[in-house]
Amino acid sequence: MAVQKLRSGFINRIARLIDFRIEERMRDTVRDLNHRVNELEHATADHRRRLDAAESGLEHARGDLLWTRAELDRIIPHIAAQEAQLETLRESMVLTPRADSAEIAESRSLIEEIQRQHAQIRVRLAGIARYEDRLRRLEDNRLAPSAQ
């Protein structure tokens, strides 16, 4: 029994010595691993925050894209109608016969004559307006003394 007790004590001492050595070596490793785990947790939290911000921005961009698509769908028929009008105008310009310089000169002289006649008409209308104004004032003067 004494040998067994001695053996048991010796084994316990060796086990504690081995445990102490293992614990000593593992303490630095565990500390490094704990430090690394903390860094990874912080990085994960940062990544989650950035991912949430990116998803929020993506939702905003989706909303803008839907609005833009709706506006595009609304505008396309108007643009198509304007393109049709432009094509009709282009075709009518092609169908217009070319004029020679004599016809252009004659057209210009007609336009100048029309402008001259319009100027004369404006002068005559201005004269008529002044004449009517004078008549109105004379009538007002005649009616004014008799009204008193």
**CA gap 107, 98 in Å, rounded:** 13
User: Is residue 91 a part of any domain in this protein?
Assistant: no
Please report, rounded to a whole number, the percentage of residues in the chain having pLDDT higher than 90.
26
Work out how many domains the chain is built from and give that number. 1
Question: Can you give the three-state secondary structure of the chain, one letter per residue?
Answer: CHHHHHHHHHHHHHHHHHHHHHHHHHHHHHHHHHHHHHHHHHHHHHHHHHHHHHHHHHHHHHHHHHHHHHHHHHHHHHHHHHHHHHHHHHHHHHHCCCCCHHHHHHHHHHHHHHHHHHHHHHHHHHHHHHHHHHHHHHHHHHHHHHHC
* Domain limits for position 147: 99-148
User: Is residue 65 a part of any domain in this protein?
Assistant: no
Record the tokens describing residue 68, joined without a space.
């833009």
User: Is residue 104 a part of any domain in this protein?
Assistant: yes
The stretch 26-45 carries a mean pLDDT of: 91
Position 35 scores a pLDDT of: 95
User: Is residue 120 a part of any domain in this protein?
Assistant: yes
Does residue 83 register a pLDDT over 70?
yes
The stretch 55-67 carries a mean pLDDT of: 90
User: Is residue 126 a part of any domain in this protein?
Assistant: yes
Position 144 scores a pLDDT of: 67
Record the tokens describing residue 143, joined without a space.
């009616």
The answer to whether 107 and 99 have CB atoms below 8 angstroms apart is yes
Does residue 48 register a pLDDT over 90?
yes
User: Is residue 108 a part of any domain in this protein?
Assistant: yes
User: Is residue 118 a part of any domain in this protein?
Assistant: yes
107's CB contacts (< 8 A; 6+ apart) are 99
99's CB contacts (< 8 A; 6+ apart) are 107
User: Is residue 137 a part of any domain in this protein?
Assistant: yes
Position 3 scores a pLDDT of: 75
Record the tokens describing residue 84, joined without a space.
């049709």
Does residue 77 register a pLDDT over 70?
yes
